Structures are given as structure tokens and as C-alpha cells.
Amino acid sequence: MYDLFFRHVILRMSTERAHHVAVAAFRYFWPFVAVARWLRIMPPAPASASVETLGLRFASPLGIPAGLDKDAVAVKGLFLAGFSHVEVGTLTPKPQPGNEQPRAWRELDVRGLRNRMGFNNEGADAAARRLAKLRASGVGKKAVVAVNIGKNKVTSAEDAPLDYAYCARVLAPYADFLVVNVSSPNTPGLRDLQSVESLRPILEHARAGADEGSADRRVPLLVKIAPDLADEDVDAVADLALEVGLDGIVAANTTIGHDRGPGGLSGPPLLPRALEIVSRLRARVGADMCLIGVGGITTAEDARRMLDAGATLVQGYTALVYKGPFWPSSINRRLG
């Protein structure tokens, strides 16, 4: 049924319009998702699928990465649909509109998506208020929420650590863990911050900001890297993560290694490189650090391959677009 809906309804919308409709559906119709969960139409993950990491219990390995729920408006619906954790953002200190439209495209031949959104969001303060309200609700207390943070487009590379510190300080009180995003291809100069020399002060400032914002508990801090990093740069990030006491690494963001037009590509073409990076990271950082594998996961077998490569958790977004809202619960059943 979803395939018919996708072909005859979703494909008649622009990619960005369909994105907004999906977010609105998870935002406003979460009570119906809760009923579907209660009726076992969208059953919760089996107990055998649970994972413990970052001092948290995840109902299954599968979460949703940043990019769908940019402003933390749809956490309840996404969590109840079967995602064990919902990563919101990317959030920046000040609101920003993102890049000019069009800025999102479907790549139907590879079941992928391409975007150059540019961190469009309502800002960290607005998200903090929304997350505070979420945490006061029954579902919000149970949901595992990650918050992805970035810098504003107008912020210079030299001042970037201050942006990350601000976001971490404001959002840490409501986050189960924070993800430092230095790997989006759609903010000019952002990926240059993945170099160890630039990344070190960003991680240090983000850690200090999180500790200041949440003095009563230590909020885990992770960094998200690009699939286009050379192997030696992946190794350097891994070594830095160990040196500064980072809690984990997310691998990987969208790729610019394609000839389909502007923006980063997500979906199945990313899977081989994401598997390589996760395997390389695991060999470098050892058994204890949390690694979140993301990029091209469509089937339960894809998720198992990522877990076998060394991932602690996995994330998927593009497959949700092509497979529909029952996709996460179906993956969970097969991973149990």
C-alpha cells in the first residue's frame, strides 16, 4: 500500500514539500502511531534487540539520524514508530533559512536522496524550549533523544568553537547525547573543520559547553564525519577521539563523491564506504567506544552487516522515505 501511495501521491510533490508533509505527519498524528503500536500493528522492538551503550538502553540498534526532524517537533511520532533514538537537528546558535531552493532531490534509480539544505533551522534556543516541553510529557521522558549541533553559515572557522559551545550548553539539559556535525557538505568550509587542528578546539568547547549546561550529569559527546575522508584522516579523527575522551563517532554523513549535481547524496550508494569506515574505526578505537553506522541501510541484512563491521548502533533515513512508516518496526523484528 505504501508503494502505491509513494508512486501516486509523494512523487507528485517536490522532495522538500514531501519532507515537510512527513514531518507534520509524525508531529501531529503521533497518537495514531501510539495506537498502532498498542495494537501491535507497529510492534515495539523485541527485548532481544536491545543495546546498552553511552550509559543508556536502546530498544533496538536502529535510530534515525539528523536531517528529518530539524527542529525537534516530531520526536514522539518517530520514537513510537520504532526508532530506538531520534537525532534532531542540525541546530545552530541562531536561526537560519538554509540555502536557496530547490535544495532537495530524489535519485530514484538508486533509491537515494540528494540535498543541499544548509542547516535550515529555527535555532538552538527554540529547540531547547521545545525539548523542555517534550521532556515533561510521558512519551518524551521515555524517548532517547540525540541532538546534532553545528555552526551558523556566517560564523568564521576561527569562531566556530564558540557556536558549538553555545549549542551544547543550551541543549545538553535535554539531550541523551550530543553529536558534533562537522561533516555536512552544504555549509561552506564546514568539512575543513574535520582536520585534527580545527576539530580539537571544537570538541573541547562542545565538551565544556555541555558540562556547563548540564552540571548534574555528563552528557555523552560524539562527532559525525564524512564518508569522503581519506583513510588516514579517518585514523586521525579516531586518534583524536581517544585523546580527548570522546564518547563515540557517527559514520558517515552524505557524500559529495558523485556526479549527480550539487549537494550530498544519501542512500544505498553510501553503504560500502560506510562499512569500510566503521570497520576501520573499530579497529582503531578498540571495543569500548560507541560507533554509530549510518549510510545506505535499507534492509535488516544491511543493518547486520554494519553491526558486524563494528557499529554499536545504526541509523537510517532515506529508506524511511522509500519504504514508509512501518519500515523501522519491520527492521526491529528482524534484528531481534
Catalytic residues: 184
Which residues pair with residue 180 across a beta bridge? 149, 223
SS3 percent helix, strand, coil of the chain, rounded to 5, is 45, 15, 35
Strands 264-266 and 112-115, by their bridges, are antiparallel
Helices (H), 69-181: 75-80, 124-135, 138-142, 160-171
Supply φ then ψ for residue 37, to 5 degrees: -70, -45
Q: Is 171 helix (H, G, I), strand (E, B) or coil?
A: helix
Residue 46 grid coordinates: 523485541
Cα separation, 221 vs 167, in Å, equals 12
Reported in sequence order, the residue ranges of the chain that DSSP labels E, i.e. its strands, are: 51-53, 56-58, 62-63, 86-91, 104-107, 112-115, 145-149, 177-181, 221-225, 248-251, 264-266, 290-294, 313-315
Q: Is 222 helix (H, G, I), strand (E, B) or coil?
A: strand
The residue type found at 255 is T
For residues 89 and 328, what is the distance between their CA atoms, to the nearest angstrom? 20
Bridge partners (DSSP) of residue 113 are: 106, 266
